[in-house]
Amino acid sequence: MIGVTVLGSTGSIGVSTLDVIARHPERYRVVALTANRDLDGLYDQCLRFRPDYAVMADPDSALGLERCIRHAGLATSVLAGVEGLEAVAQLPEAEQVMAAIVGAAGLLPTLAAVRAGKRILLANKEALVVSGRLFMEAVERHGAEVLPIDSEHNAVFQCMPSGFEHGLERVGVRRILLTASGGPFRQTPEEALEHVTPAQACAHPNWEMGRKISVDSATMMNKGLEVIEACWLFHTRPERVDVLLHPQSVIHSLVEYLDGSVLAQLGNPDMRTPIAHAMAWPQRIESGVGSLDLFQVAHLDFEPPSLRRFPCLGLAYEAIAAGGAAPAVLNAANEVAVAAFLEQGLRFTAIPEVIRRTLEEMPLADGEDLAVLLETDAEARIRAERITRQLV
Ligand code: NAD
Ligand code: MG
């Protein structure tokens, strides 16, 4: 039996992960589940999966869960806070840790799992964007294994030759092509973008996801974060990572070789495919995803992304090129701006404005020291919040 801890189990990726696990009760066992404040959601999952541990980041929610668990007579131990998250990320009973917390909040628990030498099923791209070099060095040092859950990176991983960790040139890879659906506003007139609502931004044409990543898909910051993620995961530079719009979301990404060969991974847009792939790798297991009906798909379209329509994508390329802690600033400012768009009436088109101004204001800090990265993240949030207040 393979023990699995699911960080962020009540979210979109967490639920899909438990769906895959439930299909293979002879193969996987849930060791720990975690959530922020969704007490009812986590309690239901505890009743169903009987984990050894359940963690709620919010201490009051943890007290509530503790009462429910005792009342139901479950043996699950309840922990709270970041300490609880870090503790269950390191448990010897779990070989695999699904990192599916959203945002930089997932950084410390994910790093704890890395340091414990786990197989990391990495959905939480923000953790890697914030701490890239440090994260990958820790993976190496502690003998951890990172398998990408992001559908694009999982596709690239499937198309990569072995030995890519020694550099793409050495294994004959010319470039990585990340596909992007373009989100709900690919064809919206640019002057109308100013007035789009959170509900419209979260209505993704092909994928059902959490609200933060849905907005990121609408601004294409999601693809920007993914370019940075690809640079770290595949040991390459942004010049070798291209983005193409592919509205059908059937080709999940491609790898181009020196001889002109281009390998792609295709499938229905359902996150259970990359999740099952990463959990079972190098084997293959059922994920619950049906066959791809290419007759139904009929067309595969491609177009270049416009940086005028999607300025966030350009900002992400600039941040990874600037290096150091610039991606951490980009990410923090984006988290603040997206939350303000969702909850405080910040205009959609002001999201890149907040990020640009925060990046301009912040001195370039070192990206190799965890304390500096955490300070930079906190400082960037304070500045981004001030800039946001000026814009709402
Ligand atoms: P979601 O909002 O649906 O779920 C987030 C989970 O994290 C929930 O369980 C929530 O309780 C927990 N959480 C939130 N804030 C927390 C905090 N401060 N401390 C501890 N736990 C916290 O998000 P999602 O769509 O499942 O995305 C999760 C991650 O996976 C993100 O990094 C996202 O970019 C990435 N991802 C998601 C998809 C997708 O299809 N949803 C695809 C690729 C990558
Ligand atoms: Mg993705």
- What's the CATH code of the domain at 125? 3.40.50.720
On whether both 332 and 363 belong to a single domain, the answer is yes
For ligand 1, whether the C-beta of 13 sits within 6 Å is: yes
For ligand 1, whether the C-beta of 312 sits within 6 Å is: no
For ligand 1, whether the C-beta of 121 sits within 6 Å is: no
CB 120 within 8 A of CB 219: no
CB 127 within 8 A of CB 331: no
On whether both 105 and 178 belong to a single domain, the answer is no
On whether both 160 and 290 belong to a single domain, the answer is yes
On whether both 130 and 160 belong to a single domain, the answer is no
Expressed in angstroms and rounded, the spacing between residue 100 Cα and the centre of ligand 2 is 13
On whether both 170 and 211 belong to a single domain, the answer is yes
On whether both 21 and 143 belong to a single domain, the answer is yes
pLDDT for res 207: 85
On whether both 283 and 334 belong to a single domain, the answer is no
On whether both 132 and 170 belong to a single domain, the answer is no
Which CATH number belongs to the domain containing residue 360 in this structure?
A: 1.10.1740.10
CA distance 233 to 228: 9
315 part of a folded domain: no
On whether both 73 and 119 belong to a single domain, the answer is yes
CA distance 24 to 17: 11
Mean pLDDT of 351-366: 96
On whether both 6 and 71 belong to a single domain, the answer is yes
The number of the ligand nearest the C-alpha atom of 13 reads: 1
Which of these, 303, 310, 170, lies nearest to 227 by C-alpha position?
310
Expressed in angstroms and rounded, the spacing between residue 170 Cα and the centre of ligand 1 is 35
Q: Which atom of ligand 1 is nearest to the CA of 211?
A: 2
CB 210 within 8 A of CB 11: yes
Expressed in angstroms and rounded, the spacing between residue 267 Cα and the centre of ligand 2 is 14
CB 321 within 8 A of CB 230: no
Q: What is the pLDDT of residues 248-288, one digit of tens each?
A: 999 999 999 999 999 999 999 999 999 999 999 999 999 99
On whether both 90 and 218 belong to a single domain, the answer is no
Query: Residue 47: pLDDT above 90?
Result: yes
Q: Atom 20 (ligand 1): residue with closest C-alpha? A: 36
Which of these, 275, 284, 249, 285, lies nearest to 264 by C-alpha position?
249
Q: 210: domain range?
A: 155-297
For ligand 1, whether the C-beta of 20 sits within 6 Å is: no
Q: What is the pLDDT of residues 305-354, one digit of tens each?
A: 999 999 999 999 999 999 999 999 999 999 999 999 999 999 999 999 99
385 part of a folded domain: yes
For ligand 1, whether the C-beta of 256 sits within 6 Å is: no
Q: What is the pLDDT of residues 83-124, one digit of tens each?
A: 999 999 999 999 999 999 999 999 999 999 999 999 999 999
Expressed in angstroms and rounded, the spacing between residue 66 Cα and the centre of ligand 2 is 35
Q: Considering the chain, what is the average pLDDT of its residues?
A: 97
CA distance 263 to 59: 47
Expressed in angstroms and rounded, the spacing between residue 189 Cα and the centre of ligand 1 is 30
Number of folded domains that form the chain: 3
- Pocket test of ligand 1: the residue of 61, 146, 213, 338 to mutate, having most ligand atoms within 8 Å of its CB, is 213
Last residue of a domain, one of 102, 131, 148: 148
Last residue of a domain, one of 117, 148, 179: 148
- Pocket test of ligand 1: the residue of 34, 60, 101 to mutate, having most ligand atoms within 8 Å of its CB, is 101
303 part of a folded domain: no
Q: Which atom of ligand 1 is nearest to the CA of 103?
A: 32
37 part of a folded domain: yes
pTM: 0.98
